[in-house]
Structure 1
């Protein structure tokens, strides 16, 4: 069974892998606020997927297997220097790119300090929920055509990814209001969201630094730096 077919077999029928519509990247903040519940409903629905046959954490390989036994191993070892391939000896970038050692190490520690809140939170995640990768009609449906980076993690990762490039969409603030309205309780929401956001934030920052995308690095660093105050204000 192919990776996509295996993922489809896990997903509830309500989750659309072949959607019609337009890229959610085209939504204005006002339009997103009006239809944000569609996105939150869909991400929570992904989180109900049956993963009973899958162990561990991390992105799936082609056999839909993960590489890490614990959430801590997944998050921390993502930034190991001795991984074969693109990120081998990646910390040399501290001397050659926009990536600041001080900034990275600060937010790596912020992430690491919160991993215990996410340990044991195992859900199927799309792990690529940037607005440009989601399709919607803006009124009744949201779909997720790209599952190339899917895996197992805390489901709040998918919400943190939504927020990273578009903090002005106010994803965590709107999600908190949504949960209050629906009487949904997310244990340790703030710490878990920050853990997932810092993980994905410094990982994406590392990528943009590696391709000398200085403008994106600036905005990602600002997004990461401002997040804790936003979350604490909820």
Structure 2
């Protein structure tokens, strides 16, 4: 099976782009690790740090451009966007660089020590003012959701026809990868049972809220990056965080935080189950496409063992 390969671009071409946008003087241009569908570079210009990302997916960073303005404008530590454009068949974006290391670079104990602050940021994202927008699911460049309802979104992202997207011809994975049709359909059926619990909640969702997209200086969180941003039930971000930090009592910490703020959480268990199934199903498909068999098996076992 051929796994997905990120697009490549010569350093000389990157230098030319930076000269056009920022003027001469960009230094220390170097690739960064991480990013599953983007090639990411860091650089300095006039004493400040920046990041430039490239993708071959159509409209790859239009939403990130919108999200940057939404979150940074509401005191959420998300990098500000400086430029968005295209070169050849690639889309690129230039953003301010938030200092710090990926939270994943720290020990489990150090990560857990910062969990309260992480939960606080999760809540701020969930409370972001999106009142001028409408719709559910993927956030479009204009800031609106792509679907009328959460159910429509769930059905659409799991449909076979995904032409023009990262998931084009994804049913081939049933033949060419570890993705099992019977397991996928079983989890999808469970997910649809829980859709009614999630569908009446509409907040901003980061969509990939885990250690590789959270930056830290070791004692405090310095920023949030990237995301598969959408509108829907904010407990999806909580489910993602819990699956990536299983040693940290993420759910208990979140519930204690809400109780201290005298915030009641209707149908919390059912909504969280729906969130686990939604992100887990997407994870199965993604891990199969990337050839990450261990991650696939781990997620498969977790989902099948969830109490229905």
With the length of structure 2 as denominator, give the TM-score of the two structures.
0.67
Structure 2 Cα separation of the partners of residues 103 and 62 of structure 1: 34
* Change in 2 beyond 3 A, CA 1:91/1:170: farther
In 2: Cα distance, 1:93 partner to 1:100 partner: 8
Match of 1:117 in 2: 197
Summarize deviations over 1:134-183 as a string: whole Å, max 9, x none: 11234343521224x22211111111122234433332233223333443
Indicate the larger mover: 24-33 or 47-56: 24-33
Q: Of the candidates 75, 84, 99, which is equivalent to residue 14 of structure 1?
A: 75
For 1:31, what is the secondary structure of its paired residue?
helix
Alpha-carbon distance in structure 1 between the residues aligned to 2:169 and 2:64: 32
**Cα distance change, pair 216–116 in 1 and its aligned pair in 2 (3 A):** same
Residues 125 and 151 in structure 1, CA contact (< 8 A), matched pair in contact too? yes
Distance across 1 between alignment mates of 2:186 and 2:170: 17
Alignment of structure 1 residues 1-234 onto 2, 5 Å: 3-4=63-64, 6-11=66-71, 13-18=74-79, 19-85=98-164, 86-147=166-227, 149-226=228-305, 228=306
**1:119/1:67 CA distance change after superposition, 3 Å:** same
Q: Structure 1: any 5+ residue segments left out of the alignment? A: none
Instruction: Count matched residues.
Output: 227
Q: Residue deviations 1:67-91, cap 9 Å, x none?
A: 2100001112111001213423423
Q: Closer, same or farther in 2 for the Cα pair 1:3/1:105, shift >3 Å?
A: closer
Q: TM-score, normalised by structure 1?
A: 0.86
Alpha-carbon contact 2:74-2:128 (below 8 Å) kept = no
For residues 74 and 182 of structure 1, do their structure 2 counterparts lie closer, same or farther at Cα, with a shift above 3 Å needed?
Answer: same
- SS of the residue 1:169 aligns to: coil
Structure 2: 5+ residue runs without aligned partners?
1-61, 80-97
SS at match of 2:141: coil
In structure 2, relative to structure 1, the CA distance for the partners of 1:136 and 1:160 (3 Å cut) is same
- 1:45 to partner: Cα distance: 0.5
Which is bigger in relative contact order (C-alpha 8 A, separation at least 6)?
A: 1
Give the conservation status (yes or no) of the 8 Å contact 1:205–1:220: yes
CA shift at 1:9, angstroms?
4.1
Cα RMSD of the aligned pairs, angstroms, is 2.3
Structure 1 residue 30, shift from structure 2 partner: 2.8
